[in-house]
Amino acid sequence: MSLNCKHSGSNSKFSSSLKLKKAKEPLHESDRVWKWRTLLLFLCLLGAAIIGFIWVFSGLNDGTSKDETLNLPQDKDRGLLEHFNVSKGQFHDSASLFQGSDQKKSLQCEKNVRDEMLLINVACAMKVICSEKQGFASQHGMIADNVEFRDQCPVREEDVPRKRGLYLPEDKSLPSASWSMSTAASGDQSCQKYVLQRKAFGARVKEQCQSFSFCSVNACWWIFLGVVLSCLMPCLCQKVLGNEKWKLFQQQLPPLQRQQQPVRSSSKSTGNWRLNFLIGFLIAGVLFSGFLYWYISTVDVSKRKDMLANMCDERARMLQDQFNVSMNHVHALAILVSTFHHGKEPSAIDQKTFGGYTERTAFERPLTSGVAYALRVLHADREEFEKKHGWTIKKMETEDQSLIQDCDPENLDPSPPQDEYAPVIFSQETVSHIVSIDMMSGKEDRENILRARASGKGVLTTPFNLLKSNHLGVVLTFAVYSTHLPPDATPEQRINATVGYLGASYDVPSLVEKLLHQLASKQIIVVHVYDTTNKNEPIKMYGPDDVIDTGLLHISTLEFGDPARKHEMRCRFKQKPTLNWTAIMASGGALIITFLLFHIFNAARLRIAKVEHDYRVMMELKHRAEAADVAKSQFLATVSHEIRTPMNGVLGMLQMLMDTGLNANQLDFAETALVSGKDLISLINEVLDQAKIESGRLELEAVPFDLRAVLDKVLSLFSGKSRKKGIELAVYVSDQIPAVVVGDPGRFRQIITNLVGNSIKFTDYKGHIFVSVHLAEEVRHPSALEDEVLKQSLTFVPNSSKNSYNTLSGFPVVDRRKSWKNFRNLSSGTDLPEEYENIKLLVTVEDTGVGIPQDKQNRIFMPFMQADSSTSRTYGGTGIGLSISKRLVDLMGGEIGFVSEPGTGSTFSFTAVLKKGETSSLDTMQQYYDPAVSDFRGLRALVVDDRSIRAEVTRYHLQRLGIIVDGIAFSMESACAYLSSCASNPSESSKISMVLVDKDVWGMDSSHPFHLLLKELRQNSRTEVPESLPKIFLISTSITPECNELKSAGLVDNVLTKPLRLSVLIFCFQEVPRIGKKRQASGGKPPILGVLLRNKRILVVDDNLVNRRVAEGALKKYGAIVTCVDSGKAALAMLKPPHNFDACFMDLQMPEMDGFDATHRIRSLEREFNERIESGEASSEMFSNVTPWHTPIFAMTADVIQANKEECMKSGMDDYVSKPFEQEQLYSAVARFFASG
């Protein structure tokens, strides 16, 4: 749907924007494109920046998490090290104990260290130290023992050499060093395990982070891609739909008013759609940034939670471990007491020993404030006991549950009689004041003691305030048994075996404090330790009072070895989580980008809307302007036409006025008025043409015409002017151009007239104007030039000897090739096979005028622009001619161009595509000059001219008359030589009938050999046949007295005035008698027609008197006997058989009864008559030779159209002739019927 939407949206949107673009200048378009590109580029950069930012951010995140994960194992390591140190210390203590107590029973020690993982090797150490004491002799046995009992020892091999090394008794540091080595190794192992765990955790965290960042980077890429796509989409649409839309737009153009409304509404809807899309995009962007914030926060919180849990668990475990270590030690102490106090007789431990030992091993139990040993004393033994120790058993103070009292035990009351007592006999120095106090007298202690001896394990009291430190503390109590009890001993057995109790008070806060000190990041979290034996009222054992609820809370259970008591550790972060800058920045960034994009697109949208609006306004203006332009052209056309009609009247009347008897003055006025009027008319015609062309109303005709005749007409038009100015004017048409072409002769002539008129206007009293027509093809292959004129005019070489050039007049001209240099396709007319009938003409008008200044050349073809405003003053004219010419040339499918050089002249060239015409379709020329032309055909001539181009032009004209030009002599001398050779060899075939000499080479010197030769020939001719002599014609620019002299002197037969053209030639030649000697023999057709028609009785039917008369005259000329009638009815009467007409020529369009009708009736009459003859009703004898009766009827029609002809045949006519009779047609029509006769 979105795609659809986009497309439909883009349809109107881009069509309109495209319209705008097309309507505007290309510059704007490129500008717009540039803007688009900039925007795109900006977006790309922005997208890349976003992605880069996110990538960096995720990398940063990784880094921090790595740091944290690295921190954690370090913490662990430190804890581990601490542990190790503790074990080491313990070991060291044992060593010193043994030293002190001087006891060498080491093997027993093994059992109390069995369950201490890290103290496994303590036994070995003990042995080592023992063996040290035992001396060198027992060393071997000890080692053997060691090997036997300690199979499982993982470091046996290492032990052996080490123990051997211990032969040096005084070296104490060595073993401890090596121990530290081995334990360090095991410590390393466990440490490595931790590290691995940590790493695994870190990796997990990292993975999470990575997956998140991957997701976000992906998302960003997608968004970026989307943005880029949405940017590209319009461009694509634009491209794809471009052409179509443009076409559509073009189609829409004419009915714009009608179309505007829907266009507007559609653009409006497009705008709405765009706005909706933008708002949607904005909302999506905001939602996305919200989601981003939530997601990052969630990840962060879970990370925090995990971290808290980890830290809390870690702390709890360490606390537990340390506590257990201490507890184990207390247990060991209990066993020590049991072993050395009760197991020995006499006791190896007294208060001093105990106090000393416990004091020295206090670092082993860093968390106990003191240990004490109470003996189990039954009531029966109390007195003996008191006597033995010299003090009475004292009772604890009622409410005082503390083990540590600062009151003097002497001040206490003796214990009241009980079943049994637990007076303290040994105590650490720190708590020596509790010696002799009965522990059973305190309620908590009593319960503790009872539980301890029943369970055989350490039990804990509820936390209470330790008096001295005012810290919360717990008391750990172990029972000491007299005998070794099996592990599954019943509580009864345990109670009975109990001999005493060992108690230790733990300072929990300092325990935790110390622990936390060892760990890093203690400032991050707040730790609370609670006794939760009573779930409803947990007792806080450690932790600051002012607890701030920071949200997260993690609870880890603590296992202190007393199943009856439950403890837990509660951790929370010290500070509330700080603002999550990452999330804020990421989401803020997304939000900013969203708003930025929204802004950009919104701005673009507004801009598009504005531009669309502008476009519509401009379109409207454009249409108004166009309408105004059309109106202007129309107005011009109308006005011109309106002016022309009365002007024609004025001119006509003026002309008539001039024919009346005016005196010279009046005639002059009238003539001036006439000339002015003519100028005005021609100007109006030009304006009318321009207007017609502009409003597109000018259509070209396509009629067959003789190009050469048209050119002749142009020449004759300008002959007067050129003669007046003394400019040579010549026309040359290439042989390759067909005699008849199809096109618009009037317009073709107009173009050439304009160009030649221009040239004449700007050429002053020197040089020439040369019009040449060639096929464009001829020019295309300059290498294969066949045409002499073209060859010469293209190879422009100065003739150095005569200081002239090989041009028509010898003046230099510009290189004409440059004038068509810019033509795109000189010969496209013949490129395609279906246009084979087309020919492309290249017409060149070359002059030696003033030329066009370089800076004015570019506006030559603009209407009403002359090269210079001074030009119009000097030369007159409106400057519209060239513009019209250009448009006409465009209409003819050609191009126009020029080259001009100030001072040298200009050459205008244009091409025009015309069709080849059938030569027979137009015989105007033949008919016009038929008698004359046939007279001259086959004659031979010699042209004498020193300019080859001019000679070629002369030859061209002669050839048109069918005169064969035998040769061209470039000087009189060569002409003489040629003539004499001809004269000496007077064969009929090579006889020269005429010599045409240009006035330039004639030379006025009468002593010239040529003149002499001529004179000689003339004199000879008196005796010979005059016809055999060549006639001499002088070609001159104007008729000068000299020419007349020459003529009267009989040197020349006649003078031809330039410009040469067919009519001039014919008139000239005809004036010279006897040149057309074959007059009687030529013209074979009229006599044949005459034979055909002689004495035929022909009826001519025409309502038009003039037509009738003309037809009559024409037919009479061929010897026919013509009868005329003026209507169909009359014809019907005349042709009612029997009659004696041989044929009938019938006009078609007549009032009352037209030709078809009349013919129809005549035919029916004839049919009737024929039937009657057949039936014998009428005597056929009278006209025996004409049966069946059928009078040939020829239609006379002005318009020869196929349909008309068919109609003629249908109505019973035999053939048709076109109305102004044409010999050939008449002949061919008539011949069918009269051939026999």
Partner 1 sequence: MDGVAQLKKRLADYTTSLYDEGYLDDQFVQLQQLQDESNPEFVVEVVSLFFQDSQRLLSELAKALEQQSVDFRKVDAYVHQLKGSSSSIGAQRVQRACISFRNYCDDQNIEGCLKCLQQLKNEYSLMKNKLETLFKLEQQLLEAGG
Applying CB under 8 A, the residues found at the interface with partner 1 are 645, 648-649, 652-653, 655-656, 659, 713, 716-717, 924, 927-928, 931, 1063, 1067, 1071, 1102-1107, 1109-1111, 1113-1114, 1116-1117, 1147, 1149, 1151, 1198, 1219-1221
**1031-1036 β-sheet, strand order:** 964-969, 940-944, 994-998, 1031-1036, 1054-1057
How many Å apart are CA 846 and CA 771, to the nearest integer? 6
Min separation Cβ 1045 and partner 1, Å:
13
Which strand (E) or helix (H) includes residue 1034?
Answer: strand 1031-1036
Nearer to partner 1, 782 or 1090 (CB): 1090
Strands in 435-586 per DSSP E: 437-438, 459-460, 464-465, 472-481, 498-507, 525-531, 539-542, 554-558, 567-573
Min separation Cβ 889 and partner 1, Å:
23
For residue 414, what is the DSSP state? B
Token match 């008139």: residue?
Answer: 1067
Nearer to partner 1, 351 or 1107 (CB): 1107
* Dihedral sign, Cα of residue 934, residue 940, residue 945, residue 950: positive
Nearer to partner 1, 111 or 1117 (CB): 1117
Min separation Cβ 1146 and partner 1, Å:
13
Residues with Cβ within 8 Å of 1192's Cβ and at least 6 positions away in sequence, in order, are 1142, 1143, 1144, 1214, 1215, 1233
Residues with Cβ within 8 Å of 256's Cβ and at least 6 positions away in sequence, in order, are 619, 623
Min separation Cβ 879 and partner 1, Å:
25
Min separation Cβ 755 and partner 1, Å:
18
Contact 547, 527 (CB under 8 A): no
For 437, 1040, 1186, the CA distances from 921, given in Å and listed in that order, are: 158, 42, 36
Name the maximum alpha-carbon separation found in the chain. 208
Region of residue 839 (phi > 0: left; psi between -120 and 50: alpha; otherwise: beta):
beta
Min separation Cβ 648 and partner 1, Å:
5
Nearer to partner 1, 1118 or 1169 (CB): 1118
Nearer to partner 1, 311 or 715 (CB): 715
Nearer to partner 1, 578 or 645 (CB): 645
Min separation Cβ 17 and partner 1, Å:
46
How many Å apart are CA 290 and CA 591, to the nearest integer? 9
Nearer to partner 1, 1106 or 1235 (CB): 1106
Q: Which residues pair with 1033 in a beta bridge?
A: 996, 1054
Min separation Cβ 1094 and partner 1, Å:
13
Min separation Cβ 1223 and partner 1, Å:
8
What does residue 1053 show for φ and ψ, rounded to 5 degrees?
A: -85, -35
How many Å apart are CA 349 and CA 667, to the nearest integer? 175
Nearer to partner 1, 37 or 1109 (CB): 1109
Distance of CA 648 to the CA centre of its chain: 62
Tokens for 1183?
A: 């006209």
Burial (CB count <10 Å: 0-12, 13-18, 19+), residue 731: buried
Nearer to partner 1, 250 or 927 (CB): 927
Nearer to partner 1, 35 or 1117 (CB): 1117
Residues with Cβ within 8 Å of 1046's Cβ and at least 6 positions away in sequence, in order, are 1002, 1034, 1052, 1055
Contact 565, 477 (CB under 8 A): no
Min separation Cβ 927 and partner 1, Å:
6
Residues with Cβ within 8 Å of 385's Cβ and at least 6 positions away in sequence, in order, are 375, 377, 393, 423
* DSSP string covering 139-171: HHHHHHHHHHHTTT-TTHHHHHHHHHHTT-TT-
Min separation Cβ 929 and partner 1, Å:
9
The length of the chain is: 1237
Closest by CA to 925, choosing from 1063, 735, 1060, 1057, is 1063
Min separation Cβ 848 and partner 1, Å:
26
Min separation Cβ 745 and partner 1, Å:
11
Nearer to partner 1, 67 or 1045 (CB): 1045
Nearer to partner 1, 931 or 967 (CB): 931
How many Å apart are CA 888 and CA 893, to the nearest integer? 9
Q: Coil, strand, or helix at residue 110?
A: helix
Min separation Cβ 716 and partner 1, Å:
5
Min separation Cβ 737 and partner 1, Å:
21
The one-letter amino acid code at 417 reads: P
Nearer to partner 1, 20 or 674 (CB): 674
Nearer to partner 1, 530 or 705 (CB): 705
Nearer to partner 1, 890 or 1157 (CB): 1157
